[in-house]
Structure 1
Amino acid sequence: MLRVEAFLIAEQINVKKFRAEFTGNPFSASAFEAFYAQENNKFLYVLNYGVVGFVGYGDVEKSDFIKFLKSYCEKPVEGDFKEDLLVDVNPQAKLTFNYNSLVVPALNENVVRIIILNIAQSVAMDFYEKLGQEALDSTRKFTDELEKYGRIRISKTNLMKYIGKTLNVKNSIFDNLYVFNSPDLVWENELLSKLDHGLRDMFDINMRFRELDYELKIVQDNLSLFTDQLQHRESNRLEWIVILLILLEVIDTIVNRVF
């Protein structure tokens, strides 16, 4: 029985720099990931969206490696974002998906890679769902103000800061979600294809992606509304300035004629 674990430690990992400085040749690698197959059924997977996966590593080894990897991280993440799965290798059994466990008829580098990849996507989705929910909650505060007062009670500067912060969250999510596609190798092997589809169903990857996408669309619509409100507020302010200038001009003209 193997335990497969994935930890999200940052929003980004510089995989290219890590590969250049890490000793060992990856089994599979690209600009976005590095997968290492080592002796004694030990596997290591580093993904650019801030996740590292382990198989066969002890607690001290994992802790030491994560500390080492943090020098290649951008925007470290606070909180405990972790996912794990038990894998039983049984040549007499069929591919079986259970709650928090999996039975596979064979184990090789590609099988392990697909398992870690799906767990990594799930733990990353946990983080993105948290960001999406925070963005949605913060926009709801302003929509509640619109419902209660008919306007947003916030200064222009603070509103622009809020919009900028929310857009950064939204961009951070979209910058990484594009990698949540299945690798090409799953289309070349029946077992890998069934394994990938089963794991995506187990972790609800596709459904969670759609839900997050829906939340982000709501946030986008709210931001557009807030921007319109800001422009309307500025337009009204300019109109009053013009009215005051005209009034001052009229007063000045009257004063000059009288005196």
Structure 2
Amino acid sequence: MQTNILFVSIGLPRTITKYEIEKEFSTLILSNIENSLVAQVSDDKFIFNTTYGVITFCNFSHEEIKAFLNRLHINEANHFETALINQDYPMVISPEFDKPLIDSHTIKYNKFNKSIASIISLALSQSVGLEIREKSLENKMKESRKLYEDTTKLKIKDRNALMNFASSIAKERFDILNQLYLLDKPDIIWDDLELESLYNQLSIQLELKSRFEVIEYKISYLKESVEFATDRVNQKSSEFLEWIIIWLILIEVFFSIWSYIIKPLME
């Protein structure tokens, strides 16, 4: 007998709280994995809620998801498929799959439980979280391109804006490492070879590591852009100070000439 289960991971405009989930369902079994909340609604229904604004629904229809998001007053609820970053991954449960098999379209396995649902939800949440960061960095890349194009127009007063831009880049990297846990093996898979195989296959299919490496490269590029622009501003600041010093010297020379040469001649 074959069973089909759908996982849907969505990047929301705000983080959903534990209280909001508890309020929606009368009976819940709550636990945590990698700082994320796992809410077991029934034997085969789960909600995986992260701290970085991504929520994953296991075995919920799109209509059930829309109804849930509407009750939480998410404006994009009725058209989350196009309005919000999201990713679907179907799972087929059948006795013929004695080991987890994953391709770009389907997860195939002969069993399903809370641990399996949690690992799949974690990987999908990480993927959606990465896509959110990718889009954020794309916008920063456009800002960085303007820095290169307009370096001659940069002024000393732009230094604060450059520092804020540099801080936002550093925060992007910190959030990716601190929230998505892409460089750490999930604790839940340490002593379970099957769960580890499931997570590793999902990580490969979703290209988590390679996408993270691209993000790291983009962040390095952005840092170089800011450093280049900052150097230009600092150079202009130095030139400005040099001109002030030159003018101060000229003024001093003028007053000296006035005091010791011109003024005595006029008396």
TM-score range normalised by the length of the shorter chain: 0.7 to 0.9
Q: CA deviation at 1:187?
A: 1.8
SS at the partner of 1:13? coil
Of 125, 132, 136, the match for 1:131? 136
- Aligned residues of 1:7 and 1:82 also touching (Cα < 8 A): yes
Q: Partner residue of 2:96?
A: 92
Of 114, 120, 128, the match for 2:125? 120
Distance 1:13 1:161, change over 3 A: same
Q: Deviations over 1:166-204 (max 9, x none)?
A: 522440342233323332111211210110000000000
For residues 161-172 of structure 1, what are the structure 2 equivalents within 5 Å? 161-172=161-172
Distance 1:228 1:20, change over 3 A: farther
Q: Deviations over 1:215-254 (max 9, x none)?
A: 1111112222222222221111111001101111211222
Q: Partner residue of 1:148?
A: none
- Aligned residues of 1:2 and 1:56 also touching (Cα < 8 A): yes
Q: CA deviation at 1:206?
A: 0.5
Of 27, 34, 38, the match for 1:35? 38
Distance 1:67 1:157 in 2: 45
Q: Does 1:176 align with 2:176?
A: yes
- TM-score w.r.t. length of structure 2: 0.81
Q: CA deviation at 1:134?
A: 2.3
Distance 2:72 2:23 in 1: 11
For residues 216-227 of structure 1, what are the structure 2 equivalents within 5 Å? 216-227=219-230
Q: Deviations over 1:35-81 (max 9, x none)?
A: 0122252110100011000022233432343355579xxxxxx9520
Distance 1:67 1:245, change over 3 A: farther
The RMSD of aligned alpha carbons is: 2.6
Distance 2:51 2:222 in 1: 26
Counterpart amino acid of residue 202 in structure 1 = Q
Q: CA deviation at 1:89?
A: 0.3
Q: CA deviation at 1:7?
A: 0.4
- Aligned residues of 1:26 and 1:34 also touching (Cα < 8 A): no
**Number of residue pairs matched?**
247
Q: Partner residue of 1:81?
A: 85
The higher radius of gyration belongs to 2
- Aligned residues of 2:6 and 2:90 also touching (Cα < 8 A): yes
Q: Partner residue of 1:201?
A: 204
Counterpart amino acid of residue 142 in structure 1 = L
Distance 2:213 2:148 in 1: 23
Distance 2:33 2:201 in 1: 25
Q: Partner residue of 2:235?
A: 232
Distance 1:128 1:102 in 2: 25
- TM-score w.r.t. length of structure 1: 0.84
- Aligned residues of 2:101 and 2:108 also touching (Cα < 8 A): yes
Q: Partner residue of 1:246?
A: 249
Counterpart amino acid of residue 104 in structure 2 = Y
SS at the partner of 2:91? strand
- Aligned residues of 2:44 and 2:113 also touching (Cα < 8 A): no
Q: CA deviation at 1:153?
A: 1.1
Distance 1:236 1:19 in 2: 59
Structure 1 unmatched ranges of 5 or more: 72-77, 146-150
Q: Deviations over 1:63-122 (max 9, x none)?
A: 343355579xxxxxx952001101000122242212221111111110011111111111
SS at the partner of 1:35? strand
Distance 1:217 1:79 in 2: 30
Distance 2:85 2:136 in 1: 13
